Structure 1
Amino acid sequence: MLTGSSEPTAGPDDISTYRGHDPGALRAGRIGTAGLLLSVLAATAPLMVVAGVMPTTYAVMGIVGQPLLYVILGVVMALFAVGYAEMSRHVHNAGAFYAYIARGLGGIAGSAASYVAFAAYSALQVGIFGIFGYEVSALCQQHLDAEVAWWVPALAAVLVTAVLGALKIDLNAKVLGVLLVIEALLVVVLDIAFASDPGPQGLSLLAFDPGTIAGAGLGTALCFTIAGFLGFEQAPVYAEETNKPRTVVRRVMFMALAIVAVFFALTSWLVGVAAGPDNIVGEAREESAGLIFSLIDPRLGGVFTDLLHVFFVTGIFASMLAFHNVVSRYAFAMGREGLLPRALGRASASTGAPAYGSLLQTVLAFLVVTAFAVTDDKPVGDPTAAVLNLFTWMGNLGALGVILLMAVTSVAIIAFFVRRGAAGAQGWRLVCSGLAAAGLATIFVYAVKDFDVLIDAGAGSALSWALPGLLLVAAAVGTVVGLALRSRSPETFAGIGQGNQAFRLERAADEEAAARAQDGARE
């Protein structure tokens, strides 16, 4: 039986990281607490959230209570993390979301979730190439007086990400760590500048008044700000590569969640303080993505503002790499379990990285960026294709998919422990998962309802249903794959969500079949 907080005992229902020396497996012990924390936080892209998401939320929602939104979301995510972290102690699989869902709700649900996860995280990663390309293009225009189409640096970033994605995860963690630390320090400097030189209303606490978000479309507003939290849920993806998966993953999740919630609530408040609660909405609508830079320039000067621009770009790149690593590991896990071609389920013998999964993600990113580049008929410097379309469409599609996965995973966690007779021991965790499922489902409904607002497509736009419909398509494909496996290959179907254990069982079955064939030949 699985019990409260004690270490799970070995049994047929337990999944543990395979620490053997199979050259096709991910390498255990490659990343510790610090490296995993930096990798996870890099995906949140602090400067991208501060300079992109926060001004957009102020402008579109027209409210000053954005800091309170981060507090509310922090509570919802903490409720989710309670069950999610406990699940990570019992199931170690690079497929995280879909593995948990398979273990709780069955192989068909797990197969459907795997395709939704792959589509959602791929969309998030590919979308970031758009804003990266646009920002690099803008820097070239500003400092080099050179016109560079956004897709040139975007495609270059695809190639660089491909190279790094195929290398050792500990090397990736170092790259991400350096970029993240610099990025975080710059935001801290920005916060100190805003706090020491506030706007006309001083250090007002009006933003934390619940009345500031009343009647403002709370659900839709939460959809805008939830992007800042995407990243902490990725920790279990690296469970097979950590040195102590049962403790490191859980520790990193809660550390990352606490840092993100406090960091963004504080910074969004100080951004409002810098402009003044009465002015922040108007300035955000006027300056758009330039809001942060326009607020910091008179306080710290042009040199710091230029530095902020540069590391805004490197922060975007760090986020791209972090999401690339996650997608490649989902592809690896799906290939290992027969949900995608088996070749994807083999790690590089030299680096231990999911090189084929990385290659698949690179090809997809190249094709999508190229498609947006070919259809871009706007002059250089126009953000329509790169930012308003590629980044906004793909980013919101990906976020919608992750919200859905979180909600379903919360239900799966409850089912997992109840079916194993551990409901009593895990009672308070299951209550938290139930509350998280309700909160996340509510946010998901609002996100679908107001998707046209999220992607700035206008009421009645076909995109408002076509883009979310892609998640249904992914789920349908995954369902068909699961049904086909259940019918044609019951052994493979039984391995969905099993990770390396399934890989070894599959290999053992092949060896047994070969032995039987040899015996038959001798007879």
Structure 2
Amino acid sequence: MTSNQSESVRDRESRHTPSAGQAHSLSGRLGVWSITFMVVAAAAPLTVVAGVVPLGIGIGNGAAFPLMFVVCCASLLLFAVGFTKMTPHVPNAGAFYTYIRSGLGRPLGAGSAYLALATYSAVMLGVYGYIGAVTQALVLQYAGVSLPWWLYSVAVLLVVALLGYRHVEVSGKVLGVLLICEVGIVVLLDVVVTAQGGDSGLSTAFLQPSEITSGSPGIALMFAIASFLGFEATAVYRDEARDPDRTVPRATYLALLLIGGFYALSSWALVSAWGDQAAVKEATSDPGNMLITTVERYLGSAGSDAVQFLLVSSIFAAILSFHNVAARYIFSIANIGALPRRAGRTHARHGSPHIASLAQSVLTLVMLAIFVAVGMDPVTQIFSWLVGVATLGVLVLMCLACLAVVVFFRRTRIERGVWATLAAPVLGLAGLLTCLVLTVANFPLLIAGSSGLAIAIEALLVAFFVAGVVVAVVRRHQLVD
């Protein structure tokens, strides 16, 4: 090795290795695209198009469902205006915790941290159930081997645990490759459908008021907002970003626009591929296979085979992204003293929250074992219930964050612009509260359970939030910012 090569290696290691004085700080040089890839991967674009879009069409507002993604994206962009404006003034990782604490105080901040940890852990557990079921079906179809779904889930968990233990840039590269593949196949379908003019002309239902208000627009909006889950996690990677004051806001806007644009375009192409009435009929009769059937019609059997394999990689990418976010919440909560301090340490070489990551992996394994022991179905119960929990939790957190932005800037007067510090956050709060009310009203449907179960789950989320508040009050002299 030459002297120049040795120097290059030392430079790279010095960037990734925290000094003794930074034992509780994450390190990294993530750019805009790296963070964007991880956040968009968490949204699982292919999984949404294959699973959520047919449901939105079938039991939502039919062929006009693509407009719901535009409406939700607009509301979340308003949320992002204040969220990113506040970013330079909260120089800590922790996302919702740091923003809500800075605006509404430490007790509500700690409550939001506990709620966020429960939320991201829930969605990750739910997706573990889904990937187990999908992989089981795929292996049975192509290899003729029948194994329990949970074996595949545990295998994925071991891979995620390994990647989560290492430096975050390793995860970023893996997610980048997987994301390009899964988005590529759907974009190809969009192009072919558009070029061929669809089944009976390109759909215009999303422009017709009678179509927009048909069926159940509230349920459609609920499914659409659930599809954006995890986009706000850009702020969690603040300490690992190259230039956080610029990287985090840019990644937030970019992720939102990419997710919203992709969902709107792809759902519109899916409707156009069948025709308005036929799309609703197909989405109602066979929602689980609607995308695969569509791909086979327009791209052939090779395309449908590719979609089935890429669906597994899409779900894996989402799990890895949510694992990284949950581990960083444990890390941040531990560093303020609301969890054991040991979980707030970083790896000497990888600069990763390795203890927090391992703790998250162990907790996930224990919860999966419990679900298997009680005989829960991996899709209709584990996946649908827990994703419903996460949707509700994130909406509550975003509403609190909007309120925190307004209070923070009114109190500190650090920024003078009315649009970014008041108007946009208030408008965003109005939109998110509407989504929250609709989600609570339709929560039993989202989790495919009874009203009693819905109330119990909502009470559990409240319990997590209250636990964080109690810890902050009881240990107020031990907590640090």
Which interval holds the TM-score relative to the shorter structure?
Answer: over 0.9
CA distance in 1, matches of 2:422, 2:150: 46
The answer on 1:431 being equivalent to 2:435 is no
Deviates more, 1:37-46 or 1:54-63: 54-63
Query: Aligned residue for 1:142?
Result: 141
Query: Aligned residue for 1:416?
Result: 408
CA distance in 1, matches of 2:245, 2:321: 22
Given that residues 55 and 284 in structure 1 are in contact (C-alpha distance below 8 angstroms), is that contact kept between their aligned partners in structure 2? yes
Larger radius of gyration: 1
Given that residues 30 and 169 in structure 1 are in contact (C-alpha distance below 8 angstroms), is that contact kept between their aligned partners in structure 2? no
Query: Aligned residue for 1:159?
Result: 158
Shift of 1:295: 1.2
The answer on 1:481 being equivalent to 2:471 is yes
1:55-454, aligned counterparts within 5 Å?
A: 55-214=54-213, 216-376=215-375, 385-422=377-414, 424-454=416-446
CA distance in 2, matches of 1:99, 1:63: 40
CA distance in 2, matches of 1:164, 1:278: 45
| Matched-pair identity in % | 36
> Residue 31 of structure 1: SS of its match in structure 2?
coil
Shift of 1:428: 4.0
CA distance in 1, matches of 2:314, 2:179: 7
CA distance in 1, matches of 2:414, 2:215: 41
Shift of 1:425: 3.4
Given that residues 46 and 184 in structure 1 are in contact (C-alpha distance below 8 angstroms), is that contact kept between their aligned partners in structure 2? yes
Shift of 1:32: 1.4
Deviates more, 1:54-63 or 1:149-158: 54-63
> Residue 451 of structure 2: SS of its match in structure 1?
coil
> Structure 2: which amino acid aligns with 1:278?
Q
Deviates more, 1:206-215 or 1:258-267: 206-215
Deviates more, 1:432-441 or 1:197-206: 197-206
Shift of 1:280: 1.2
CA distance in 1, matches of 2:349, 2:90: 26
> Structure 2: which amino acid aligns with 1:251?
R
Query: Aligned residue for 1:11?
Result: none
CA distance in 2, matches of 1:204, 1:60: 18
Normalised to the residue count of structure 1, the TM-score between the two structures is 0.86
Shift of 1:219: 3.1
Given that residues 331 and 345 in structure 2 are in contact (C-alpha distance below 8 angstroms), is that contact kept between their aligned partners in structure 1? yes
Given that residues 399 and 429 in structure 2 are in contact (C-alpha distance below 8 angstroms), is that contact kept between their aligned partners in structure 1? yes
CA distance in 1, matches of 2:339, 2:209: 47
Normalised to the residue count of structure 2, the TM-score between the two structures is 0.93
Shift of 1:282: 1.2
> Structure 2: which amino acid aligns with 1:246?
D
> Structure 2: which amino acid aligns with 1:436?
G
> Structure 2: which amino acid aligns with 1:316?
I
- Structure 1, unaligned runs of 5 or more: 1-18, 377-383, 499-523
Given that residues 28 and 351 in structure 2 are in contact (C-alpha distance below 8 angstroms), is that contact kept between their aligned partners in structure 1? no
CA distance in 1, matches of 2:254, 2:356: 28
Which deviations, in whole Å up to 9, do the C-alpha atoms of 1:196-240 show, x marking residues without a partner?
Answer: 334442112122323323154433321111122123211010011
> Residue 229 of structure 1: SS of its match in structure 2?
coil
CA distance in 2, matches of 1:271, 1:410: 34
Query: Aligned residue for 1:9?
Result: none
CA distance in 2, matches of 1:86, 1:58: 36
The answer on 1:464 being equivalent to 2:463 is no
CA distance in 2, matches of 1:219, 1:24: 48
Shift of 1:468: 1.8
Shift of 1:42: 0.9
Shift of 1:266: 0.6
Given that residues 90 and 246 in structure 1 are in contact (C-alpha distance below 8 angstroms), is that contact kept between their aligned partners in structure 2? no
Distance of aligned partners of 1:108 and 1:270 in 2 relative to their CA distance in 1, 3 Å threshold: same
Distance of aligned partners of 1:426 and 1:243 in 2 relative to their CA distance in 1, 3 Å threshold: farther
> Structure 2: which amino acid aligns with 1:483?
V
CA distance in 1, matches of 2:338, 2:214: 45
Given that residues 197 and 274 in structure 1 are in contact (C-alpha distance below 8 angstroms), is that contact kept between their aligned partners in structure 2? no
Given that residues 141 and 147 in structure 1 are in contact (C-alpha distance below 8 angstroms), is that contact kept between their aligned partners in structure 2? yes
Given that residues 381 and 448 in structure 2 are in contact (C-alpha distance below 8 angstroms), is that contact kept between their aligned partners in structure 1? no
CA distance in 2, matches of 1:274, 1:326: 36
Given that residues 67 and 208 in structure 1 are in contact (C-alpha distance below 8 angstroms), is that contact kept between their aligned partners in structure 2? no
Query: Aligned residue for 1:521?
Result: none
Given that residues 197 and 299 in structure 1 are in contact (C-alpha distance below 8 angstroms), is that contact kept between their aligned partners in structure 2? no
CA distance in 2, matches of 1:88, 1:305: 42
CA distance in 2, matches of 1:67, 1:152: 36
> Residue 64 of structure 1: SS of its match in structure 2?
helix
Shift of 1:463: 1.4
> Residue 277 of structure 2: SS of its match in structure 1?
coil
> Residue 86 of structure 2: SS of its match in structure 1?
helix
> Structure 1: which amino acid aligns with 2:383?
F
- Structure 2, unaligned runs of 5 or more: 1-17
CA distance in 2, matches of 1:134, 1:123: 17
Given that residues 68 and 210 in structure 1 are in contact (C-alpha distance below 8 angstroms), is that contact kept between their aligned partners in structure 2? no
